[in-house]
Amino acid sequence: MFRTLAFINIVLTLGLIVIGGLVSADFTGLECTSWPICYAPTVDKASIYPILHRIFAGIIIILNTILFIKKPKERAVRLGLFLLILQSLLGGINFIYKLPTLVSVFHLMLSFAYIAIFAQLFVPDIEKISEKIVSYNPKAKDFVFVMLLIALVQFFFGGVIHQTATKDVCGMGENINILCNTANGIQFWPSSVAAQIHSLHKYLGILFLLTLIVYLFSIIKTALSLHGRAFKQFSFLSSSLVILFLIHLFNAKRLFLLTDTTYFQVLHLLLAVLISLNLIFLFQWFIKFEEVNLGGYQHTFASDMLSLTKPRLGLLVVSTIISGILLTGEYIDFFYLVNALVFSILIVMSATTINCYMEIDVDANMVRTKDRALPAGRVKPIYALIQGWILFIVGFLATYFFVNTATALLGALAFFSYLYVYTPMKRKSPAALFVGALPGAIPPVMGRTIVTGEIDGLAILLFTILFIWQIPHFMAISIYHKHDYAEGDIKVYPHFYSITKMKICIAVWTFLLALSAVSGYFFDLNSKNFFIASIIVNGLFFAQSLQSFFIDDEESYVAWARQYFWGSIIYLPLLLSLMIFLS
């Protein structure tokens, strides 16, 4: 019953994306003058799509709630419910404040993320192959990962083109060309932002095709070594990927040759979703196949070099940079923004890579890190060092010359303080926590300087909030990783403080965090609405910190620390989102 409801949920969400595509293509969302229920003056073609869109969304929310009641501990259900709440709030805020196109695109991508989460429940089981597998190529998995990344970027740019109705900026009908055909002639990289996005969307499509071809050549030997159900699963996923892409390619051609293209646009969107889902299934198939038949995840040189950069940490840092950008409320060129974010990511990746190089011995002694690429011996240390410095030099110089001096210097300050002050100090004193909070608090300031070119009052407020937030956040982590840190000879406060003292420290720092969050109102940096919302959010988070005083045994204390950690993860983006939307 659970899987049946989950499958219906996926189908309905696909329907929601299709109807949303029709709403965007025909601009019929303007017919709805209310939220969350769509009250249209008359029910006709202009209003039926937005009405259906709201109905489908309502049914999906009800279904996910039922799934949550049936299996509250299922990760997909909990994460899906969170995404639904986030998407609903975003839709409401977008309706009220008429937010920029990128917000609508993000709203669309949340729908895809929601489907992808539930699709994980339907990844097929893998059977154990009795014969020894001698021709398996783990690099094929890397190509699938690259195609998935390209597809997601394509999905984003396609969403921008769809939402802004700019599909004809590079020529239509007889004027269609693989390059951009503008009034100024055929150009590889046109001058307008809309045409540049359109061109990049085309070029990424070509890159996807080339990667797909390389992938198909890389799996020949692997396919020949499989048999039975494994062969059928692998063949089906790989061949369906090719078929979907070819249909997508044919539909794209029709899209640019015809005048009335509403339904072709929506089909284009749906095929993009299906291709991305196919790639997720295929990637998960490789992971499961390796676990069942090869004893675990099969690392490649490319995947190990990527793991040194800690991509998830990079995404978290980028999210705080974006918060600083959005708080400026000023116009910013799209590709200037993309370049600034990419260059910032390079600096973050360089720091994490060199950090891995500097802490090989520490990682080798800790259970959760000893299988990383360097301590496990899969990558030579010199490769990590070279990669780290190349990433920093490129990221710093590009930021300096193509963004601005302030952002480049802040990036360099974060880089050097993290590597050459915090990293060696954390083996000597738990006070390194406060030093490490410095580079951790710089990213939102960089977001501010990317737009303004200078450090102002709001940048200082963001720095203060991020700096204080990290203290109780990492204190909570050090509680439940206390023994692991001891094995790695890393000094943390739970090694020196009693349980009672740790409870007091976390509560005090959480209270200071609340004070810093609401202080902006008294310096005319935040609105009254944010001040009220911030009091509520900080009150709830502070209450969570006080829960520890009602816990006596150590096991419950460690469990509370984990809960506080997750509370802090929810708190920060929620607070920054409120600051952005209620500014």
**Domains of the chain: total:** 4
Asked whether residue 186 falls in the same domain as residue 333, the answer is: no
Asked whether residue 318 falls in the same domain as residue 289, the answer is: no
Residue that finishes a domain, picked among 122, 156, 181 = 122
pLDDT reported for residue 256: 62
Confidence grade of residue 445 (pLDDT, cut at 50, 70, 90) = very high
> pTM (2 decimals)?
0.83
Residue-number span of the structural domain to which 499 is assigned? 464-583
Asked whether residue 290 falls in the same domain as residue 313, the answer is: no
Report pLDDT digits (tens) over 211-256: 999 999 999 888 877 877 888 899 999 999 999 999 998 887 776 6
pLDDT at 46 over 70: no
Asked whether residue 293 falls in the same domain as residue 310, the answer is: no
Residue that finishes a domain, picked among 281, 297, 313 = 297
pLDDT reported for residue 31: 47
Asked whether residue 429 falls in the same domain as residue 479, the answer is: no
Asked whether residue 550 falls in the same domain as residue 413, the answer is: no
SS3 at position 182: strand
49 close to 64: Cβ distance less than 8 angstroms: no
Q: What is the dihedral of CA 105, 109, 112, 113, to 10 degrees?
A: -160
Asked whether residue 272 falls in the same domain as residue 351, the answer is: no
440 close to 351: Cβ distance less than 8 angstroms: no
Asked whether residue 118 falls in the same domain as residue 129, the answer is: no
Asked whether residue 409 falls in the same domain as residue 530, the answer is: no
Asked whether residue 201 falls in the same domain as residue 305, the answer is: no
Confidence grade of residue 92 (pLDDT, cut at 50, 70, 90) = low
Residue that finishes a domain, picked among 90, 107, 122 = 122
pLDDT reported for residue 99: 59
Q: For the ranges 43-52, 208-217, 308-317, 475-484, which has the lowest average pLDDT?
A: 43-52
Is-cis flag, bond preceding 36, omega within 30? Answer: yes
pLDDT at 36 over 60: no
pLDDT reported for residue 30: 45
pLDDT reported for residue 342: 92
In this structure, the number of other CB atoms found within 10 A of the CB of residue 81 comes to 17
196 close to 190: Cβ distance less than 8 angstroms: yes
